[in-house]
Amino acid sequence: QVQLVESGGGLVQPGGSLRLSCVASGRTFSGVTMGWFRQAPGKEREFVAATSWSGGTTYYADSVKGRVTISRDNAKNTVYLQIYSLMPEDTAIYYCAADKSGSYYIPANYRYWGQGTQVTVSS
């Protein structure tokens, strides 16, 4: 059974930073694209970042470009999302996704999802 487990969320003050982690189990994900999405209350799930299997190609949403870094460690079956200069509008549940077919920014194109980790940015 494939499982993705996110961690690292929490309450952060504006301007702070967080590193989210997503550990995959049940199969190796060294050959698939992995991504991060987020969903704020009352809003649709939106793309944040994605990385190719090698980590050599990364994609970022315009809304977070320059403040977010995605990386992965295939030996640990783990993908990371480092977020800097957090703003209140970054408040959302952040989801890890894996094994896409098609465009990297469309949630429905990913086969596996984690349960999400809450990020709250507030003073």
pLDDT at residue 96 in the model: 97
Mean pLDDT (whole number) for 57-76: 93
Cα–Cα dist 47/36, whole Å:
7
Report yes or no: 14 and 121 within 8 Å, Cβ to Cβ: yes
Report yes or no: 96 and 72 within 8 Å, Cβ to Cβ: no
Q: Per-residue pLDDT tens for 17-59?
A: 999 999 998 877 767 899 999 999 999 999 999 998 887 899 9
